[in-house]
Amino acid sequence: MPAVSKGDGMRGLAVFISDIRNCKSKEAEVKRINKELANIRSKFKGDKALDGYSKKKYVCKLLFIFLLGHDIDFGHMEAVNLLSSNKYTEKQIGYLFISVLVNSNSDLIRLINNAIKNDLASRNSTFMNLALHCIANVGSREMAEAFASEIPRILVAGDTMDSVKQSAALCLLRLNRTSPDLIPMGEWTARVVHLLNDQHLGVVTAATSLIATLAQKSPDEFKTSVSLAVARLSRIVTSASIDLQDYTYYFVAAPWLSVKLLRLLQCYPPPEDAALRSRLTECLETILNKAQEPPKSKKVQHSNAKNAVLFEAIALIIHHDSEPNLLVRACNQLGQFLQHRETNLRYLALESMCTLASSEFSHEAVKTHIETVISALKTERDVSVRQRAVDLLYAMCDRSNSKQIVAEMLSYLETADYSIREEIVLKVAILAEKYAVDYTWYVDTILNLIRIAGDYVSEEVWYRVIQIVINRDDVQGYAAKTVFEALQAPACHENLVKVGGYILGEFGNLIAGDPRSSPLVQFDLLHSKFHLCSVPTRALLLSAYIKFINLFPEVKGTIQDVLRSDSQLRNADVELQQRAVEYLRLSCIASTDILATVLEEMPPFPERESSILAKLKKKKGSSKLPDLDDSRRTVNGSSEHAEDTEAVNINVNQGPIHTSTDILNLNSTPSSGASLLVDVFSDMANPAPTEGSEDHFPRFVCKNNGVIYENQLLQIGLKSEYRQNLGRMYVFYGNKTSTQFLSFSTSVTSDIVLSSHLSVQAKPVDPLIEAGAQVQQILNIECVSDFSDAPVLNIQFRYGGTLQNIAVKLPVMLNKFFQPTEMASQDFFQRWKQLGAPQQEVQKIFKAQNQMDTDVAKAKLLGFGVALLDGVDPNPANFVGAGIIHTKTTQVGCLLRLEPNTQAQMYRLTLRTSKESVSQRLCELLSEQF
Amino acid sequence: MMRFMLLFSRQGRLRLQKWFTAISEREKKKIIREMTTMVLARPPRTCNFLRWKDLKIVYKRYASLYFCLGVEDEENELLALEIIHRYVELLDKYFGNVCELDIIFNFEKAYFILDEFLMGGEIQETSKQIVNRAIESSDMLQEDDHSEWYDVELFG
């Protein structure tokens, strides 16, 4: 047992630890621990009051036992008692115990909070620091509630000690991350910004961390920090004369503070003020220059600290993406690192270049390093570095180098680590599709993928090649020929059999003229693989066979024999058996014409974003995926104007700026080529509804698409369609930030009354949303009977460590289930009279909220869902409409009349339906629209 | 921000764990297991960075101990490496040529030193002098108060 080095030794504790270490087996250790626990328990329960020291020692032992991985279910009270001790050492252990073994036991939390309160008020800086640490360590909501107002006060108070300021700043930061709603911005924010000017660099560092995080969420509030941060950075970086004393780390001036300041500046666009901007540029240039100077020390700490600042400066340059000069210099610097002897630097250079590749200014410069990156792929010994090289090749790929990059990736795939194969497969598949000028190359590439790494080729990849072949008739013959040849290999992957079966079933006729690939040869080839394949593949092959019967009447007999065999007709698998029976019957009884109609070539697939890309994003998880489609990163933070925010949204959906055409959206259907998202958001391009996101609900009464919710993090767009009593809603969640959302989950809740009238079923949603990306969720809606409330969509996700909760009222209203009904004037009046009972009619007279425009009113009524009936009302200025509300249980006919009075700026709305509640609800909904 | 710091031996024995966000004990154990296996499996002279889920893992070996830091995506890997180094320096200064046993037997000190240096997953004080002074002064306080009762110390 080594001598206890310093401070107060707790000899009993040292003996105990020593005993544990001497235990020869796990059992012996458990036995020793149980003995100790029994001893401590009896001491705590004993009649004799324990003195502070013993209490401290036992609590410390419990802590040790807990850290060994054993459960501790007592001792919390004793630890809490220690908090109120006057002896620093006891208090300290008490706080340590509480910090490590947070217990949500609310009684204790109250006691703990009490002790913290006393220490915060003690004006003893050591005690205050302990208390602040405890709050930061526990960070629970109860604590946030108790101290949210106190901590900002301590932070900005004039007489607070420096070390307490540091603790208070970081404590506040922690609470802001866990419970941002409890930390309102206030008068203190302006004073916090001024801490950037503080004398004490430790205070400045802590304050910068706090401000950088707060500024991400509310950039406007902290705008003034930009000039202060630039000034501070400039003093550190450019003036060699200032001695920063202990804040100089291995000859590098305040590396932590520099990096934090550079990070803070990444919350903002480049400064608009010319002087400030040039001062910042000067800083960045100085940092780049310093990289070229000889090192001041051989120690790795020196170069790490220096390069840390350099990488952060490059991150800022990339973020600003506005100074071509700096971008190219950054790229050259990273190029040097690519060949550095330090593996760490090579790794970081590859990683950093990935983001640089997506800037239009530096994309070309990045491309010049292609040979180095390829050689990294081949020669690096470390798989994490090779992985970064794959990422970079993917990011730097464009039309000019795609063939080379795809070829290199394919050849790397042969030896690649198993852990990254699937990802490489996805990347190759995406690049091959995106940059295919010639689709024969694309087909070859995918078949190669299957050949080299068939096990890692997911469904998305082979579905996609089939979709593309079906949609492009110029490649069909080639595809048929190529798969036919590939299938001749003695051992081919099952995925190839799938692709081969599908393609020959559709396009085998295109190569049937050649006797070497006559119909019978094709069939025999496919069937020779049949018995080796799994059930789903066999099912696919059976479908290919029936397609053959249609394409090639001459092999009908052979195929019918196969289908008729016992192994098919009596197959134990229901699906296979059913297919065999049905296909056989179909081939026997259907005439050639019918067969040709039933088994016609597949129609082209609707074009939309490649599902492979979605898969890759999902697979990549959180790691930074250079997204080919939003190559221009958006300015995060500081969207001061509504237009800015919109520009951001639109940017997310638009194609790259430096690559002119996007092959993912095939030319065959240019209009529908744009993904659904664009349609949704095109709605919001005209008005500017970004602000005041709370109540977008009423705007959806007369329309189905648009943005329902938006804050600084998230945008939710909707697109919905209804038919009779059913509806489908596509919800698009857009991540507006430059950080991913994790643990993303949603649920739809209705109250008890509503849930019996309306059922909403949500399809699962991806738990991860990449920065700047959007994911879609489908909700299936069924109206059981008429209803008046609306379901609530609850969204939960983690953003930067804090849990975000958002609840949005979903715009599912009764009128969505309207079916417009056209009727003649006579019928209308007849029904109007029939619905004359007092409870069936609801009338409302109200003042116009908007300008009274006939066309707008018409559009709204149509959007509401009724048919407008012309020539029914004798007064042409009035509107008359009719429709039927479909619910599962019943249908409710509905007639309405809207009479504008332009002079009085009033409307009179009359509704008659067979059900009182329906009349009421429709009247409420519609009357708020004018 | 930093999410956690772990110290473990070459045999995978955990020596110190510091969590900067609230997570369940189960989750902690899972992370500890994954980190130790992942880091210990790395061949020598590979780079010090890994990706794991949404985190960057930065690790470095000092003698028999591995220091492993899980940081969020926007953190600077090189500086994370230097955070580890500075912590080692602080331990070294305090214990004088720190070794694994010092940390085992004085685990509470190792936590106190870490608390002076990091807070809420951010760096609190980068100056070695200031951190050392804070730790020494708290030791002074301890020496003051234990003089009266040190004699009554008994095993058990």
pLDDT tens per residue, range A5-51: 444 567 888 999 999 999 999 999 999 999 999 999 998 988 778 88
- Which range of A477-481, A650-654, A659-663, A887-891 scores highest in mean pLDDT? It is A477-481
Whether the Cβ atoms of residue A701 and residue A794 lie closer than 8 Å to each other: no
Q: Nearest residue on chain B to A95, judged by CA atoms? A: B112
Q: Do B105 and A344 touch (CB under 8 A)?
A: no
Whether the Cβ atoms of residue A650 and residue A683 lie closer than 8 Å to each other: no
Q: Do B79 and A246 touch (CB under 8 A)?
A: no
pLDDT score for A686: 33
- Please state the residue numbers annotated as binding site of A: 11-12, 43, 53, 57-61
Task: Give how far A693 is from chain B: nearest CA, Å.
Answer: 29
Reported as half-sphere exposure (CB side, CA atoms, 13 A), residue A297 has a value of: 12
Instruction: Report CA Rg, chain A.
Output: 35
Task: Give how far A202 is from chain B: nearest CA, Å.
Answer: 5
Tens-place pLDDT, residues B8-63: 999 999 999 999 988 888 899 999 999 999 999 998 889 999 999 899 999 999 99
pLDDT score for A406: 95
pLDDT score for A629: 41
Q: Is 60 exceeded by the pLDDT of residue A649?
A: no
Q: Do B46 and A348 touch (CB under 8 A)?
A: no
Mean pLDDT of A760-773: 87
Tens-place pLDDT, residues A540-564: 999 999 999 999 999 999 999 999 9
Mean pLDDT of A887-903: 88
Q: Do A88 and B106 touch (CB under 8 A)?
A: no
Task: Give how far B23 is from chain A: nearest CA, Å.
Answer: 10
Q: Do B79 and A255 touch (CB under 8 A)?
A: yes
Q: Is 80 exceeded by the pLDDT of residue A904?
A: yes
The distance in angstroms from the start CA to the end CA of chain B is 41
- What is the Cα–Cα distance from A373 to A391, expressed in whole angstroms? 10
Q: Is 90 exceeded by the pLDDT of residue A171?
A: yes
Residue A250: CB atoms within 10 Å:
18
pLDDT score for A661: 30
Tens-place pLDDT, residues B96-148: 889 999 999 999 999 999 999 999 999 999 999 999 888 888 777 765 554 44
What's the CATH number for A697-812? 2.60.40.1230
- What is the Cα–Cα distance from A475 to A447, expressed in whole angstroms? 14
- The residue range of the domain holding B99 is 2-155
Transcribe A141-168 into DSSP letters: HHHHHHHTTHHHHHHH-TT--HHHHHHH
Q: Do A308 and B109 touch (CB under 8 A)?
A: no
Closest by CA to A639, choosing from A216, A185, A315, A186, is: A216
- From chain B, the residues in CB contact with A10 under 8 A are 153
pLDDT score for A428: 93
CATH number of this structure's domain A815-928, picked from the four choices 2.40.50.100, 3.40.50.620, 3.30.310.10, 2.60.60.20 = 3.30.310.10
Dmax over CA atoms of chain B, in Å, equals 53
A906-913 and A841-847 strand pairing: antiparallel
Q: Do A305 and B104 touch (CB under 8 A)?
A: no
pLDDT score for B143: 56
- From chain A, the residues in CB contact with B149 under 8 A are 51-53
**The total number of structural domains that make up chain B:** 1
Confidence grade of residue A928 (pLDDT, cut at 50, 70, 90): confident
Q: Which of B77, B109, B124 sits opposite A348 (nearest CB)?
A: B77
Q: Nearest residue on chain A to B56, judged by CA atoms? A: A623
Tens-place pLDDT, residues A188-218: 888 999 999 999 999 999 999 999 999 998 8
- From chain A, the residues in CB contact with B30 under 8 A are none
**Dihedral over Cα of A275, A277, A282, A283: its sign:** positive
Element holding B67 (H helix, E strand): strand B65-71
Confidence grade of residue A106 (pLDDT, cut at 50, 70, 90): low
Mean pLDDT of A733-761: 86
B55-62 and B65-71 strand pairing: antiparallel
CATH of the domain at B48: 3.30.450.60
